[in-house]
Structure 1
Amino acid sequence: MFTPVKLGAIELKNRLVMAPLTRMRAVDGDVPNPLAKTYYAQRAGAGLIISEATQISPLAKGYPATPGIYSPEQTAAWREVVEAVHAKGGKIVAQLWHVGRISHSSLHPEQGVPEAPSAIAAAGQTYGADWKLHDYETPKAMTLDDIARLLKEFEAAAQNAKSAGFDGVEIHAANGYLLDQFLQDKTNHRTDQYGGSVENRLRLLGEVIDSVTKVFPSDRIGVRLSPYGSFNDMADSDPVGLFNAAIQKLNGYQLAYVHMIEPRSTSAGGNDQVNETAPITSEIFRAAYQGQFISAGGYDQAMGEAVLEAGLADAVAYGRLYISNPDLAERFKQGAPLNAYDRATFYGGAEVGYTDYPTL
């Protein structure tokens, strides 16, 4: 865990990755909170920080107070975050996000209802701009013009990430958000070139990568996937077939890394349940992927070391442990006790539960 590793062009001092963590603390204009500089710099002991999911456009937003990376003000605030991380010797990539149907029109009133591959509402409820729960709305099925616009938005967001000085970007194609909705057949009922066959359902992910490679070389681009993930009302009739095909497609890009979430950690932000019977993603898909592989999902230190020793990952991402232990790498190295996290302070608020966890 404490040996260096190269993920594409990004050189890491260790194999601990800070997972992308939505914290819902952005200020007006979806600008990163001024406290974010401190928060990310405190955690620069990680080999790599993956930023919280960052929307590429107003319509890409799915929760109140999440930051964007589509305006000059947002980009300027992210530049300060990146400079703070680099000043501490850290590396950081921006996670580019479009939530698709997992949204509410109150979060983007000018753009109207959410957009998705097909007009299928998710089951359940989500937070609107008033921070109250609302039933999911039926999304608008995206037209080919909408998809063309989306590709331009990904390219522009990547350009802003580059302007802000990020070491690369991660394309968020996991957890039931827009790109995952195109991948999985429960949410993609299209009959055009973006639906039906696995090849067609993979098309948009490939086109997004192509758009982002106009800005960053492929060895500074990662992709996040969540096979078997049921979060946000997701499912596929043949997940092994689908995600093996996705891996084969990604093998053609010489990416910095692929980042997969273990389905045993079922919460994706909800609770701490661990599904002991879930398939082990790294065991199924690691062998098929020819590049560098990050595994995430409910790891402790011993499990992380074991997956690295077994060659099932090149780096391990930690989420909740990084919330409460800004110096997680140092604690692991020393075998020091860990701070317990306070779930009540994960989302919203200010410095409590954000920048006030003690270091050694």
Structure 2
Amino acid sequence: MNTILAPYSTKTLQLKNHLVMAPMTRSRAIGNIPNNLMAEYYHQRSGAGLIVTEGTSPSPSGLGYARIPGIFSSEQVEGWKKVTGAVHAGNSKIFVQLMHTGRIAHQANLPAGATVVGVSAIKAAGQMHTDSLGMQDYPIPVALTTEAVKATIAEYVQAAKNAVEAGFDGVEVHGANGYLVEQFLNPNVNNRTDEYGGDYKARASFALEVVQQIADAIGKEKVGIRFSPFSNLGDLQDYDADEVHNTYAYLAQELNKIGITYIHIGFSPKIPQKTFDAIRSAFKETIILCNGNTPATAADTLAKGFADVLAFGRPFLANPDLVTRMEQNAPLNEVDFTTLYTPEAHGYTDYPVMAVA
């Protein structure tokens, strides 16, 4: 336990402990603009060494879910300043997670003038909640042209610049969970015939161009990326296991050349040990491991050597004072799953904290 609570320091990342608050969509950004309630929520959890925000769109077309924030307008930048200021007041670092939902979206959740877009014109199976129409089928997305792909990359870059203006310590590119970056990686979704489709290296080019251009714009030490190898989220179908392995080994190798500060991996039992080993061997900076971490298992997980720091999701959601509880080996609050995505403070900023002795 002492290991995870001790400071963590590299040339590019200095944290007060080895705990990361994982990115979690909470749908409290009314009008897609960060607000005072969100600032309170993140401030409450600033015991974490690093906070990664909920998925935040770099583009109007990426706002696929109801009430998720963006970081492409001046109003959004001003709203995020409240959040970064509150987190820095708690002596924590904060990265914004840039999440373009791609085809995992519905028109009813997008602002006027925005369109549901995707890597290819292939719809996802399933439905999505909208505040105005209830549950709706995913639509067929408009396939991005090559020129539109370049414009989307530029949106990511501008969003990263906006993040620096808003006071963030860096940005995490969301390359997981079936959203736009991972849609490019998966050949069952990506049937493109231009430079962004084809073999696994071509399909990885979108992710690498986004990261390279953001690093050039704001500094490589301010850039991380999240992956979920072998994931089926967002109606992603399995493809050849060796090709999946080669994809992430290649990404780790190329991202190491760029020199970004971390790779954030969403753990799954489907990920073979050889893929973990390949990522760790290729990438020399910080690796964050998320999913399934608990205070009881944290020390053992770090001792295995793959991850440098650990991300906690639900424990931070339900326990604003998670670090204090870990220090005192105290019991944890349970998550109220009925209030995960509601717009109010209940189930968001009103989880109980331990009494101060």
- What is the distance in 2 between the residues matched to 1:81 and 1:127? 26
- What is the distance in 2 between the residues matched to 1:164 and 1:31? 13
Partner of 1:253: 258
Q: Is 1:334 paired with 2:328?
A: yes
- What is the CA-CA distance between 1:284 and the residue it aligns to? 5.8
Partner of 1:98: 100
- What is the CA-CA distance between 1:10 and the residue it aligns to? 2.7
Query: Which whole-Å deviations, capped at 9, do the CAs of 1:79-123 have from their partners, x for residues lacking one?
Result: 011001111111101111101100011222634541111111111
Partner of 1:89: 91
Q: Is the 8 A contact 1:169 1:222 kept in 2?
A: yes
Query: Which whole-Å deviations, capped at 9, do the CAs of 1:115-140 have from their partners, x for residues lacking one?
Result: 11111111111123426111111111
Q: Is 1:321 paired with 2:315?
A: yes
Relative to structure 1, the CA distance from residue 342 to residue 44 in structure 2 (aligned partners, 3 Å threshold; closer, same or farther) is same
Q: Which of residues 47, 50, 53 in structure 1 aligns to 2:52?
A: 50
Q: Is 1:10 paired with 2:13?
A: yes
- What is the distance in 2 between the residues matched to 1:313 and 1:247? 14
- What is the CA-CA distance between 1:147 and the residue it aligns to? 1.0
Partner of 2:291: 297
Partner of 2:195: 193
- What is the distance in 2 between the residues matched to 1:256 and 1:245? 17
Amino acid at match of 2:252: I
What runs of 5+ residues in structure 2 fail to find an aligned partner? none
User: Aligned ranges for residues 164-243 of structure 1 at < 5 Å?
Assistant: 164-234=166-236, 235-237=238-240, 238-243=243-248
Q: Is the 8 A contact 1:282 1:295 kept in 2?
A: no
Relative to structure 1, the CA distance from residue 32 to residue 9 in structure 2 (aligned partners, 3 Å threshold; closer, same or farther) is same
- What is the distance in 2 between the residues matched to 1:131 and 1:46? 37
Q: SS of 1:160's equivalent?
A: helix
Deviates most, 198-207 or 7-16: 7-16
Relative to structure 1, the CA distance from residue 171 to residue 17 in structure 2 (aligned partners, 3 Å threshold; closer, same or farther) is same
Partner of 1:307: 301
Relative to structure 1, the CA distance from residue 161 to residue 131 in structure 2 (aligned partners, 3 Å threshold; closer, same or farther) is farther
Q: Is the 8 A contact 1:37 1:84 kept in 2?
A: yes
Deviates most, 303-312 or 134-143: 303-312
- What is the distance in 2 between the residues matched to 1:216 and 1:82? 17
What TM-score do you get using the length of structure 1 for normalisation?
Answer: 0.92
Q: Is the 8 A contact 1:48 1:90 kept in 2?
A: yes
Relative to structure 1, the CA distance from residue 314 to residue 176 in structure 2 (aligned partners, 3 Å threshold; closer, same or farther) is same
Q: SS of 2:128's equivalent?
A: strand
Q: Is 1:22 paired with 2:16?
A: no
What runs of 5+ residues in structure 1 fail to find an aligned partner? 265-276
- What is the CA-CA distance between 1:202 and the residue it aligns to? 0.9
Q: SS of 1:329's equivalent?
A: helix
- What is the distance in 2 between the residues matched to 1:248 and 1:188? 22
Amino acid at match of 1:236: Y
Q: SS of 1:49's equivalent?
A: strand
- What is the distance in 2 between the residues matched to 1:252 and 1:221? 13
Q: Is the 8 A contact 1:182 1:188 kept in 2?
A: yes
Query: Which whole-Å deviations, capped at 9, do the CAs of 1:153-200 have from their partners, x for residues lacking one?
Result: 111111110001101110111100000000111111111110111111
Query: Which whole-Å deviations, capped at 9, do the CAs of 1:36-66 have from their partners, x for residues lacking one?
Result: 1111011111010001110111101110000
- What is the distance in 2 between the residues matched to 1:76 and 1:115? 27
- What is the distance in 2 between the residues matched to 1:251 and 1:211? 15
- What is the distance in 2 between the residues matched to 1:150 and 1:169? 16
Partner of 1:267: none
Relative to structure 1, the CA distance from residue 194 to residue 2 in structure 2 (aligned partners, 3 Å threshold; closer, same or farther) is same
Amino acid at match of 2:316: Y
Amino acid at match of 1:308: L
Q: Is the 8 A contact 1:262 1:282 kept in 2?
A: no
Relative to structure 1, the CA distance from residue 159 to residue 6 in structure 2 (aligned partners, 3 Å threshold; closer, same or farther) is same
Q: Is the 8 A contact 1:10 1:167 kept in 2?
A: no
Q: Report % sequence identity.
A: 40
Relative to structure 1, the CA distance from residue 86 to residue 109 in structure 2 (aligned partners, 3 Å threshold; closer, same or farther) is closer
